[in-house]
Amino acid sequence: MAGHLAFDVSHLFAGGLVLVSFMLLYQDRLYALLNVFALHAVVLAFSVAWQAFIQDAPHLYVTAGIALVLKGIIIPGALHRIVQRLEIHRQIETVVGIGPTMLAGMALVALSTVVMLRVTAEADPLAREDLAFALSVVLLGLLVMVTRRNAVSQVVGFMSLENGLVLAATAAKGMPLVVEISVAFSILIAFIVIGIFLFRIRERFDTVDLQALDRFRGDRQ
Amino acid sequence: MSTAFALIFAAVLLASAVGVVGTAHRRLATSIVYGVCFAASVGLLGLALKDLVSGVGPNDAVVLPLGLPWIGAHFRIDALSAAFLTIVNLGAASASLYGLGYGQHETAPARVLPFFPAFLAAMNLVILADDAFTFLLSWESMSLASWALVMAHHAIPENRRAGFIYLLMASFGTLALLLGFGLLAGANGHYAFSAIRAAPVAPGAAAMVLVLVLIGAGSKAGLVPLHVWLPLAHPAAPSHVSALMSGVMTKVAVYGFIRVVFDLIGAPEWWWSVVILALGGITAVMGILYAMFQTDLKRVLAYSTVENIGVIFVGLGLSLAFGASGMPAAAALAMTAALFHVLNHSLFKSLLFFGAGAVLRATGLRDLEKLGGLIHRMPRTAVVFLIGSVAISALPPLNGFVSEWLTFQAILLSPSLPQWALKIMVPAVGALLALAAALAAACFVRAFGVSFLGRARSPAAAAANETDKFSIAAMFILAGLCLAAGVFPWVVIDSLAPVVDRLVGAHMPIQSAIPWLSIVPISESRSSYNGLLVFVFIALSMSIAVYSIHRLASRASRRGPAWDGGFPDASPATQYTAGSFAEPIRRVFGTTLFRASEHVEIPPPGSLAPAHFRADLHDLAFEMLYAPLAGAVGFIADRANRFQYLTIRQYLTLVFGALVALLLVLAIWT
Amino acid sequence: MNGLAYYAVAAVLGVPLVSAAVLAVLPGYRLTARLNLLAALITMLASASLFFLPRPEPGQYLFIDDLNIVFIVLSTFVAFTTSVFSASYIAHELETGKLTPTYLRFYHAMYQLLMFGMNLALLANNIGLMWVAIELATLTTVLMVGIYRTAEALEAAWKYFILGSVGIALALFGTILVYMAARPIVGEGTDAMVWTVLMGRVATFDPALLNLAFVFLLLGYGTKVGLAPLHAWLPDAHAEGPTPISAVLSGLLLNVALYAVLRFKLLLAANPSALAPGPLMMIMGLGSVIFAGFMLYRRRDIKRMFAYSSIEHMGVVAFAFGLGGPLANFAGLLHMVMHSLTKSAIFFTVGHITQVKGTQKIADIRGLTVTHPLLGWGLVLGVVAIAGLPPLGIFMSEFLVVSSTFARQPLLAIPLVAGLLIAFGALFLRLNGLAFGEPTGSTQPVKASYIPMYVHLALVFTAGIYLPPMLVLWFQHIAGLLG
Amino acid sequence: MDLIRALAIQGLQMLLVLALAPLLTGFVRKVKARLVRRQGPSLIQPYRDLLRLLRKEVVLADNASWLFRATPYLAVATTWVAAALVPTFATGLAFSWSADLIAIIALLGSARFFLALAGMDVGTSFGGIGSSREMMIASLAEPAMIMIVFTLALVAGSTQLSTIAAVFDAGVGLRVSLGLALVALVIVAIAENGRVPVDNPATHLELTMVHEAMVLEYSGRHLALIELAAAIKLLLYLTLIACLFAPWTLAAAGAGPVALLDGLVCYLFKLAIGGFLLAGFETSIAKMRVFRVPVFLGASLMLGFLGTLLLFVTKSV
């Protein structure tokens, strides 16, 4: 019974995470994107906390805390600041339109479930479902990264991807080093954010101006 | 036993190569290096001759713990390798002797001295090798050393280009050979030749091996259309190295071909010979036509090498055909002819390149159009170059004729072949050979006539001086050998007998037993030739003529200006040039084979502008095969190069794509 | 008795870590450079000693077996020679003011940290630990690539950083999946991440999870190996970073990443019902060879060119391991070792060349054999070696790869040979200009440390004609393990 | 005893060709003159010319080398040796085996080689024009000749002239291939001897000269020798045709004096016919442009090859 409940709740959170990822895909305004990401982080935090509860693995609360505080509050805030400072225009130029992106997202989710369903069931169903969702979140995060043109939104994509990882890690019952990993990742993300801030990287992710190409891709004469 | 000694000599060569790196005393170093090379080559020559004459022990093999670990480096001298060792070291010794003199004038000795001995050693090791790895290692080292020698005068852009094309083609050939040996050795990597012999490959694979070896060895030997590098690279090197590359290295390539096709590959199929014969015939004619149209003396020689390679491969092809149809005697005849020509060509081609080197040293010129009248300035060089030219034009009583004659005798046996294709093809190939021989005569009348005869076409040629004594000595030795091999061919044929026996299981009748020392391929009634008698007759009747004329007729003679149809002392520019000499043949053969075209501009009457004549030739092999290839690579490179300038997001897209693709693979195929 | 081995392991890991900390604070170029050198030396000796000492029991986190000891000895050796080279290289950078003492301190600290990361990754008996270590190594190199702080350098570092991070993420996901696969059999906790345990019981793991895991790991670590199409960071990182780092990247980091891939290949190979990892590796390898071959033609930056040649050779190695079988695996190992030595030697040479000529543009460097014979001929020798010409080591490995491929998969051998030939042409086309012809640029003599590069080339040369039987047996044993 | 006779015959034949050669030339000239209703020089005019030339002094160009002076002797020697090996009236030559048909062709090749060199030695444009054209013609004539040799050798199973002659004498029936070979051989002979329509031994008009241009610088005894060599070559080819395609009444080895005499007479008769036909042909046809010669010779090459192929068809050897 309890197992059943546990299953449903974690299922709920994981599914919610995927849903939020779709919302990320859908956004076309920078601030909105950041807010949605904050939501993403919060959902993750809850799901991790729930895992900590049902697996009674207290150290997972740390991870949940990091997720909530760092990704839910600090980083979105920092990014807000950056967007203001660097006058990144608020409109997100996407490579392909929202619609196709959403379709691609659907396809990816389908793909990940198909792949995961091949996993024999004796790896316990909870893990199986969670992994399916985690994989979708990861893929959707990558999709965000490759379909958005400017740095901030790509960072957001990367972070959502990484949320997927944490989801997977927590779903893996009794996996060691989860906390360390989440910490390491937080540092990584901090690096990226700082990098954006320091190097004034606006659209460097995807510069289209040829002169910049010549300057930075070195190998031309 | 002698294998071990041979290896020691090779080691000596390598040691001298290493020892000379970065030395200060140039003259001294030159003398020492070439001295050592000379000594070592003579030693190896002695060994090889001993083995050739007294026969080789069956298990005269050496295995060193080098090369592929679990196989080791196998070395072995059998009859075949003994024969080729003789040829190689004959050339090597003479080149070293020549180098003793010629090398002293080298402008960049530091770029020649270390690589020359290494080159010699590598060639010897190729022939000594008895497993695939050692063979290919030495083979490619040979290319590498010669490449370094080609690059010796790297300041000249053409030389750099030549070096590049050479090394690329060489490596292409080596990879082809590598694939071939991969097939022969099988999946478990039995690379030792003994193991390869023990496990013959399937017929289909064998055919594939043949093709690969034709590409590999053929590209090194210079079979058309794989010859493009040869006329670029051979002339670029210092002349004694050119002599080695043209006279000896191509023979090493022939050795590789024989080793695989007649020794390792197992029973041949008759249709292989069709391929080889066709290639050989085409190569012979195309090679000599190319040579006919060159104005660079060394390039003329290089192209004529292509021709001679063609002749050799025709011999090999015939031998294969006869062997496959169970006619050992005929096969032996053809093989003997081929090997004999291998020896001959190594002799006179080295000789001619030495001559060209002497001319180059004396005048600083390789361009025929600027030479002329050297017979007065360099009498000795002229004599030996003349002998070389007569020999390479396959004229009696010199050696070139004998091998050509033997080849024709083999061709005359073709009607008894069972296959109709060959019956009809071989005579045609024979016609091609005859054509090649006649053109060779024309080509060398041109080469000798324009450079040594007539009047000097440039001050440099007018001021030329005879070359040094070492060079002269080397050239006279080779010339003497040419004459000897032409007058006493039976010696060569008999000493080749064991080799031929080993390869085709039969040999020509022992010639030394035949009265009057004439040579008889099959039977007295069928055909025979006696170089000695012909030589004696010519000498005799000539002296009779001289004697009687000088006794009976007037001996008076007077010098005067040339008659020249009544135009007194025209300038040297009015002489026939190399270009004009080739013109009739260019008109006959060039128009189709080379898309030859002539452009004449004659200024209108009264204008003082000079008239212009230009003859254009196209190297179709290059334009149809290599240029498109290079173009394709360049095109793809340009396309691929875009990937250097993508944005990070696009690179991420690549990663993402790869991931999705792999997941799809999982989703679908598992 | 085993105690010694433990000390040695401790030294291999500890010395770099400690010296990193020390170098971070010590001022003064001479001292730090020497210290750096010394640390590398000690590490090398320690790892060499591992080779002779009896093997300790594999622990929860660290272990030594036949496979990783090859890598550890190789990498500590190259690390040492590189530190020798780096000493003279950095001196010049300091003179020309391209680096300030502060950055120098940072540089040396990072250098040792990188060594620590790589050694840890190699010694790790725990897939999680290995992941952490490789990420550490990657991040340190990212910082070092950016050390010149020119726009290009920052660009390269940034590109490396982003692509690297994605790779990190993918690898981690793969690692988690492996744990998930192991957990039902091995049980929860650290054991489910320990190589030695996994290897023992992998046969009963869930194949589908393993397949999925391998896909992520191949992409994640393959990014670091530089296999096309994941290679994008590699050429720029090599070109814009300090040359010693280029040498270390090509010579070591790629190997370490490859080592990780190999480990997981072993894991999959041990599970009967999992998909065969070989074909994937062969395809990616072949693609890299051909792609890099074509890319070589349009290169104008000398370091970038040799970076692409690294991609090519990593492709060859991956192809060989993918092909599998004792012969091909042996060839792969040999090729990897030879490539590390040769490529780092080439980068040593190139480093001095670019310093003396003051440019990395191939077009501006001519006739080196005339102006700087030692450097010029060193470069010629290096290119000859890397192009797979005898009598140098790579010829032997390529001989084995090609011939065994043709005997087993003729159709795959053709594109392989084509790719090799294409790359060959490009390399010598460039070498013609670099080493020969009329010299251009400065002709003043250069203060260079020739020992490292010529030591490497000498080793490669020797290996080309003679491999010591002990080494051969050892390699054959590993080749057997790799299946 | 046999050896002695063989040697005697050999010697006799050598003298014979030497003696007959100018006569043949004279005969051809005479007939040609007659055919165009001229009186023409007497038969022995060539001898007179030779003697006259021999008595004159030689005028050498200033830069003529030793090669220029040696060539005439070499040309005569090689041509003479070649001629000595072709059975004229008897097959039992002492040394006929020392060189077969191929070798004989090659010997003539040597003579041509040196003449061409001599043509270039003085360094005049005429010499060059002659040499280059001569070599061009030869480069086409030689393969044709080889194809002819194939045809004959395939029929007779030998390249040894005496053997071939003996076989044909014994009779091999009438064959298309042999007919083709004959035509081809005639064409080659015309080209090799520089007769009309390929070349004209009588002309000294620059643009048409081939052989004459090559030897333009020669004078005195040298010229005499070259004329002699040319004459011997003509004789040689006629003899060759005779002994290959009309081998009848050739005295076999070891035949008695009667047979020898018989053979000799018949030989002279054959030569007369040959000379007559040649003269007739030359008078009836005009000289062709130099660059139509390749076509002409190509035809003979084709015929030779055709002969070889037809041989397979008629009798699969």
Domain assignment of residue A221, yes or no = no
Q: What pTM, to 2 d.p., does this model score? A: 0.94
* Of B218-222, B606-610, D91-95, minimum mean pLDDT range: D91-95
C-alpha C237/C-alpha C254 separation (Å) is 13
HSE value, Cβ hemisphere, 13 Å, CA-based, for C238: 33
Helix or strand holding residue B600 (H, E): strand B597-601
Does the beta-carbon distance from D132 to B565 stay under 8 Å?
no
- The string of DSSP codes covering A18-49 is HHHHHHHHH--BHHHHHHHHHHHHHHHHHHHH
pLDDT band at C244 (very low <50, low <70, confident <90, very high): very high
* pLDDT tops 50 at residue C373: yes
Name beta bridge partners: C301: C361
Please identify which residue in the block is written with the tokens 């002239």: D161
Substitution target in A59, A126, A128, A216 with the highest count of C β-carbons within 10 Å is A216
- As a whole-number percent, the residues of chain D with pLDDT over 90 amount to 53
Q: Considering all CA atoms of chain D, what is the largest pairwise distance in Å, rounded to the nearest integer?
A: 60
Local confidence band at C330 (pLDDT 50, 70, 90 cut-offs): very high
Q: Rounded to an integer, what distance in angstroms lies between the CA atom of residue B596 and that of residue B666?
A: 61
Q: How far is CA B250 from CA B139, B172, B244, B246, C441, in A?
A: 12, 16, 9, 6, 40
Summarize pLDDT for B472-492 with one digit per residue, the tens: 999 999 999 999 999 999 999
CB atoms inside a 10 Å sphere around CB C7: 14
Contact across the interface for A108 and B649, Cβ inside 8 Å: no
User: Could you tell me how many CB contacts below 8 A there are between chain B and chain D?
Assistant: 279
- The answer to whether residues D224 and D138 touch, using CB atoms and an 8 Å cutoff, is no
Q: Is A110 part of any domain?
A: yes
Determine the Cα–Cα distance for residues B14 and C110; give it in Å rounded to an integer: 45
The length of chain A, given as a count of residues: 221
Residue D264 C-alpha, separation from nearest chain B C-alpha, in angstroms: 24
Cis peptide leading into D197, omega within 30 of 0?
yes
Least Cα separation, residue A93 to chain B (angstroms): 13
Are D304 and D147 a contacting pair, CB within 8 Å?
A: yes
- Inside any domain, residue A122: yes
Tokens describing residue C467: 């491999």
Rounded to whole angstroms, the Cα distance separating B158 from A119 reads 65
CB contact set of C430 (below 8 Å; sequence gap of 6+):
C296, C299, C302, C305, C362
Give the distance from residue B174's alpha carbon to the nearest chain C alpha carbon, in angstroms.
Answer: 10
Mean pLDDT for the stretch of residues B519-533: 84
Contacts of B211 (CB under 8 A, 6+ apart): none
Q: Measuring CA to CA, how many Å separate C14 from each of C10, C75, C138?
A: 5, 16, 19
Confidence of residue A126 (pLDDT cuts 50, 70, 90): low
Residue A200 has a pLDDT of 57
Please tell me which of the candidates B171, B640, B657 has its beta carbon nearest to residue C294.
B640
In the stretch 133-192 of chain A, residues with CB closer than 8 A to chain C read 134-135, 138, 142, 145, 158, 161-162, 164-165, 168-169, 172-177, 180-181, 184, 188, 191-192
Residues 583-642 of B with CB under 8 A from D: 583-585, 587-588
Residues of B with CB under 8 A from a CB of A: 644-645, 647-650, 652-653, 655-656, 659-660, 663-664, 666-667, 670
- Taking 70 as the threshold, does the pLDDT of residue B529 lie above it? yes
pLDDT greater than 60 at residue A204: no
- CA distance, residue C131 to nearest chain B CA (Å): 19
Q: Which long-range contacts (CB under 8 A, 24 or more apart) does C278-283 make?
A: C278/C321, C278/C322, C278/C323, C278/C324, C279/C322, C280/B662, C280/C214, C280/C218, C280/C322, C281/C218, C281/C318, C281/C319, C281/C321, C281/C322, C282/C318, C282/C319, C282/C322, C282/C323, C282/C412, C283/C322
Of C155, C183, C236, the CB nearest to A172: C183
SS3 string, C415-479, reads: HHHHHHHHHHHHHHHHHHHHHCCCCCCCCCCCCCCHHHHHHHHHHHHHHHHCCCHHHHHHHHHHH
Instruction: Tell me how close the Cα of A216 comes to any Cα of chain C, in angstroms.
Output: 5
Residues B409-443: tens digit of each pLDDT: 999 998 888 888 898 899 999 999 999 999 999 99
Which residues of chain C does B154 touch, with a Cβ-Cβ cutoff of 8 Å? 367, 369, 436-437
Percent of chain C at pLDDT above 90? Answer: 58
Predicted complex ipTM: 0.91
Q: Which domain holds residue A177?
A: 2-216
Q: Is the dihedral of CA D267, D269, D272, D276 positive or negative?
A: negative
Q: What is the pLDDT of residues B325-359, one digit of tens each?
A: 999 999 999 999 999 999 999 999 999 999 999 99
> Are C161 and A176 inside 8 Å of each other by CB?
no
Q: Do the Cβ atoms of C180 and A123 come within 8 Å? A: yes
Which of C:307-326 have CB within 8 Å of B?
Answer: 325
pLDDT value of residue A115: 87
Q: How close B290 comes to chain C (CA, Å)?
A: 27
> Quick check: D174 contacting B, CB < 8 Å?
no
Q: Helix (H, G, I), strand (E, B), or coil: what is residue B542?
A: helix
Strands B73-76 and B61-64: antiparallel
By the 10 Å C-beta count (0-12 exposed, 13-18 middle, 19+ buried), B367 is classed as middle
**What does the block give as tokens for C235?**
């050429």
Please state, in angstroms and rounded to a whole number, the distance separating the CA atoms of residues C61 and C38: 27
Q: State how far the alpha carbon of B481 is from the alpha carbons of B417, B500, B553, C39, in Å.
A: 36, 22, 37, 68
Interface residue D62 vs chain B (CB under 8 A): yes
- Asked whether the beta carbons of residue D54 and residue B562 sit closer than 8 angstroms, the reply is no
Chain C residues contacting A via beta carbons under 8 Å: 128, 132, 135, 139, 151-152, 154-156, 158, 161-162, 165-166, 168-169, 172-173, 176-177, 179-181, 183-184, 188-190, 192-193, 206, 208-209, 212, 235-236, 239-240, 298-301, 304, 361, 363
Alpha helices in chain D (DSSP H): 2-35, 45-55, 66-84, 101-121, 125-156, 161-170, 176-192, 211-214, 220-245, 257-284, 293-314
- What letter would DSSP give residue B529? B
d(CA B78, CA B56): 6
**Angle at D272 (CA atoms; ends D271, D276), nearest 5 degrees:** 115
Q: Please say whether the beta carbons of A25 and A101 come within 8 A.
A: yes
Helix (H) or strand (E) segment spanning residue B601: strand B597-601
Residue B175 tokens, joined: 């990879």
Range(s) of the domain holding residue D17? 2-314
* Beta carbons of A142 and B659 less than 8 Å apart: yes
User: What is the average pLDDT value for chain B, to the nearest integer?
Assistant: 91
Nearest-angstrom CA–CA distance, B348 and B354: 10
**Has residue A92 got a pLDDT over 90?**
no
* Burial zone of B198 (CB within 10 Å; 0-12 exposed, 13-18 middle, 19+ buried): exposed
Closest residue in chain B to residue A214, using alpha carbons only: B645
- Of A217, B187, B483, D184, the C-alpha closest to C300 is A217
pLDDT digits (tens, 9 = 90+) for B296-310: 999 999 999 999 999
Q: Does the distance separating the beta carbons of B649 and A204 come in below 8 Å?
A: no
Q: Which of B371, B387, B455, B534 to mutate to test the interface with D (most CBs of D within 10 A)?
A: B534
Confirm if B441 and D113 have CB atoms less than 8 A apart.
Answer: yes
Q: Is the pLDDT of residue A174 over 90?
A: no
CB-nearest to B649 from A111, A139, A149 is A149
Query: From the CB coordinates, do chains D and C have 3 or more pairs under 8 Å?
Result: no
Is residue B44 within 8 Å of B9, Cβ to Cβ? yes
Beta-ladder partners of A148: A94
Any chains having at least 3 CB pairs less than 8 A from chain B are A, C, D
B613 beta partners: B600
D138 contacts B525? CB cut-off 8 A: no
Closest CA to B175 of C305, C425, A197: C425
Rounded to 5°, angle at Cα B520 from D256 and B510: 125
| Residues C247-258 pLDDT 10s | 999 989 999 999
Q: What angle do CA D194, D308, D186 make, to 5 degrees?
A: 20
Q: How many structural domains comprise chain D? A: 1
Q: pLDDT digits over C199-228, tens only?
A: 888 888 888 889 999 999 999 999 999 998
Nearest to B435 among D139, D163, D225 (CB): D139
The minimal CB distance from D125 to the residues B423, B516, B574 is found for B574
Kindly state whether residue A201 falls inside one of the protein's structural domains.
yes
CA dist., res. B568 & res. B41, Å (int): 54
3-state SS class at B604: coil
- Residue A2: the pLDDT is 53
Burial class (CB in 10 A: 0-12, 13-18, 19+), C106: middle
- In this prediction, residue B563 carries a pLDDT of 84
Residue with the two structure tokens 């034949």: D13
What is the spatial distance between Cα B531 and Cα B521, in angstroms, rounded to a whole number? 14
Closest Cβ opposite residue B666 in set C163, C167, C212: C212
Burial of D288 (0-12, 13-18, 19+ CB in 10 A): middle
Q: How far does the CA of residue C187 sit from the closest CA of chain A (Å)?
A: 9
- 3-state SS class at C361: strand
Beta bridge partners of D251: D90
d(CA C92, CA C74) in angstroms, rounded, equals: 27
The Cα B527–Cα D160 span in angstroms is 5
Separation CA A80–CA A32 (nearest Å): 10
- Sequence-separated (6 or more) residues with CB below 8 Å from residue D306: D177, D180
Cβ contact (<8 Å) for C407 and B186? yes
Asked whether C12 and C47 are in contact (CB, 8 A), the reply is yes
Which residue spans within B190-318 are E strands per DSSP? none
CA dist B196 → A58, A59, B91 (Å): 69, 66, 31
